[in-house]
Structure 1
Amino acid sequence: MNRLNVLQSLSRQKKLKNYLEIGVLNGHIFFKIQSHFKVAVDPMFKFDTLRRIGKTIVNPYNLTSQYYEVTSDDFFEQHAHQVFANRPIDLCLIDGMHAYEYVLRDIENTLKYLSDEGVIVVHDCNPVTPQAGITFQEWNGQGFWNGDVWKAVLHLRSLNKDINVFVLDCDYGLGIITKGKPENPQSMSVAEIKNLSYQDLSENREQWLNLKPKEYFYEYFKIPRQ
């Protein structure tokens, strides 16, 4: 199971259609989603007009997609209100800047426009090596990097009382966020979270992330296994 499987299952089985993707890069995920209302946000798309045309031929749903080549902060400040004025977000993939403060802003901004049954999927929530889990300031641009997205998960589980957050143990950790009563909330302050290390995560991984086996996805959303 990976993020594309999760997104496609939610779109087809739960009829979650209005789609936002933050951190699109080459469109590997975005172009495959079937929805007449898709919004792509990335400060530097890694595809050109010719590729967009080709992907529209393969998947006609891409014909009506909207593209915003700006940072997610700029998108939410300048465009989101108009884009989602009459169409709340049903489904969102957040896979942009893998840093605690950045991804937290992306999640909180998305929540402002999320429908009651909407789902946010966050990539890179469960780094499995110290090198993969370092901060952006520590990363030298070399090697595989998940960043400290996991701190955003712990932040939400500690400070937000109206959403439920858990992480599926697959695809480097898929954070799942829905509206509703939180399960096993945590109680850390922002200052405490900022000072946590990868070693701290290793010792408390299951509790802090509310880590679930990948099969839990089907149980939680009450959809048939594929």
Structure 2
Amino acid sequence: MRQKNLKNYLEIGVENGHIFFRIKSTFKVAVDPKFLFDLSRRLGKSLINPYNFNNQYFEKTSDAFFAQDAQRIFAAKKLQLALVDGMHDYQFALRDVENSLNYMQENGVVVMHDCNPQTAAAAGRFEDWETGEWNGDVWRTIIHLRSQRPDLTVFVLDIDQGLGIVTRRKPDNMLDFTPEQIKAFTYNELTQNRATWLNLKPAAYFYEYFGI
């Protein structure tokens, strides 16, 4: 999002910091219940990318962060870009998106990972997951936002397990499902309606949508 000058950055689900440490911004907030890096790695990444000297780290759940810290952290600087890649569960992801939007500028963008699972196993519950890729049911969050939020444009880029894009623009079209219906959908129903429900777009659509 460099071309759009979106810099004030929040990442939920940082883990080893592979993406987080590469972002060039003087205002970066990392949230994860358990960071997979230590102080020495933070210092090393700051030498490689000096922007990392100003990072703010919150080793807690995203729910706890938004309840305890977000109002203070974003009081002076509104969010411009957020990556939601935390717990891959419908309700968790939905809260992360909506909480992020509460502290975001009007032209801000939320990016969601794991929105387009390719197998039933990858799209299942964490309790049932055994091995291989696990995306969870973040796809339900996409359907929910497209059904319940007429103030948002939401689509999924068909790359990297499905990258959801959420912006405050009036959508060209919406879905008409209740949360109860969304919760009851099966993976088989998703496969039959994937392109429509997810508003699935080719990777190049990103540049068209943002005029880059």
> TM-score, with normalisation over the residues of structure 2?
0.99
Please tell me whether residue 145 in structure 1 is matched to residue 134 in structure 2: yes
Q: How many residue pairs align between the two structures?
A: 212
Could you list the per-position Cα deviations for residues 164-184 of structure 1 after superposition, in whole angstroms to 9, with x for gaps in the alignment? 100000000000000010131
Give the aligned residue type for 2:169: G
In structure 2, distance between residues paired with 1:135 and 1:183: 32
Provide Cα deviations, 1:143-199, integer angstroms capped at 9, x if missing partner. 210010000000000001111100000000000000010131000001000001110
Which of 165, 172, 175 aligns to 2:164? It is 175
Counting only pairs closer than 5 Å after superposition, residues 61-140 of structure 1 correspond to structure 2 as: 61-140=51-130
Q: Deviations over 1:82-131 (max 9, x none)?
A: 00011111000000000101000101111101111100000000001111
Corresponding position of 2:191: 202
The question of whether the paired residues in 2 share the 8 Å contact of 1:165 and 1:183 is answered with no
Distance 2:211 2:151 in 1: 21
Number of the residue aligned with 1:51: 41
Q: TM-score, normalised by structure 1?
A: 0.93
Deviates more, 1:125-134 or 1:17-26: 125-134
- Residue in structure 2 matched with residue 185 of structure 1 by the alignment: 174
Segments of structure 1 that go 5 or more residues without pairing to the other structure are 1-9
- Where 1:137 maps in the other structure, the secondary structure is helix
Query: 1:43-71 CA deviation, whole Å, 9 max, x = no partner?
Result: 00000000000000000000000000000
- The answer on 1:31 being equivalent to 2:21 is yes
Q: Report % sequence identity.
A: 57
Distance 1:74 1:159 in 2: 25
Root-mean-square deviation (CA), in Å? 0.7
